[in-house]
């Protein structure tokens, strides 16, 4: 068994209205507590895209399902691994944008020290259980702007990816899968930025 990830966007007016140390519990309660009526346990499985809770609080957050990942963090980890093999073979402006995007979300960065949490969301305690990603609305806006710059260049990466990063081992081993995963993250940050919401990644 490997690490899983649930990627959500959350209404900042709802999440940010309470003390910082109580926010993770509020979000977890909304997501996991059947008694709240926020989530329909009998809803059909969605292969990809947005899944929204039902009930009176359903407008407060939404979950994004990445296609072909089964909720695992492994494809996201491998996307960072593929980027490490690819980044030295792309133009500097594209490399800079994708460095910033991936290091802001799922990749450890070129020095292995990238952080994926903004302390204003849940505080600066690095030991919060199961917190993989927490980006404030300001951080999300920066990531969405980076995605807008990087997106037009993605198709031009197929050749370098195939030559230097593709492989049968691990996840996202071909360019189509790699591009699809990045596009999913682009969808997440774009929608969250449009709403002025936070982006959160949780694991159990």
**What pTM, to 2 d.p., does this model score?**
0.91
Please give the pLDDT value at position 52. Answer: 77
Q: Strand pairing of 131-135 and 6-10?
A: unpaired
Q: Are 133 and 201 in contact (CB under 8 A)?
A: yes
User: CA 121: distance to chain centroid?
Assistant: 15
d(CA 196, CA 34): 27
Contacting residues for 30 by C-beta, under 8 A, at least 6 apart: 36, 38, 53, 57, 60, 61
Q: What token pair was written down for 187?
A: 């969808």
pLDDT, tens digit, for every residue of 102-154?
999 999 999 988 989 999 999 988 678 789 999 999 999 999 999 999 999 99
User: CA 72: distance to chain centroid?
Assistant: 12
- The domain locations on the chain are 6-202
Where does the pLDDT of residue 45 fall: very low under 50, low under 70, confident under 90, or very high at 90 and above? low
pLDDT, tens digit, for every residue of 167-182?
988 899 999 999 999 9
Q: Is the pLDDT of residue 33 over 70?
A: no
Q: Are 88 and 82 in contact (CB under 8 A)?
A: no
Of 92, 103, 95, 85, the closest CA to residue 163 belongs to 85
- Indicate the helix (H) or strand (E) that contains 50: strand 49-51
């Amino acid at each position: 068994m490997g690490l899983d990830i649930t990627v959500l966007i959350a209404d900042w007016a709802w999440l940010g209205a309470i003390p910082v140390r109580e926010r993770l519990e509020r979000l977890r309660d909304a997501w996991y507590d059947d008694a709240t009526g926020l989530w329909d346990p009998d809803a059909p499985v969605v292969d990809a895209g947005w899944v929204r809770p039902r009930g009176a609080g359903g407008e407060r957050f939404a979950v994004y399902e990445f296609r072909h990942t089964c909720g695992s963090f492994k494809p996201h980890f491998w996307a960072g691994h593929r980027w490490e093999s690819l980044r030295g073979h792309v133009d500097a402006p594209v490399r800079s944008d994708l460095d910033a995007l991936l290091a802001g979300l799922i990749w450890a960065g070129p020095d292995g020290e990238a952080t994926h949490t903004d302390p204003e969301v849940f505080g600066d305690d690095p030991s919060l259980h199961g917190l993989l990603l927490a980006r404030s609305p300001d951080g999300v806006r920066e990531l969405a702007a980076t995605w807008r710059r990087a997106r037009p260049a993605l198709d031009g990466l197929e050749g370098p990816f195939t030559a230097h990063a593709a492989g049968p081992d691990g996840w996202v081993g071909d360019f189509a899968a790699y591009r699809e995963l990045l596009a999913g993250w682009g969808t997440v940050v774009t929608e969250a930025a449009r709403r002025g919401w936070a982006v959160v990644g949780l694991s159990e």
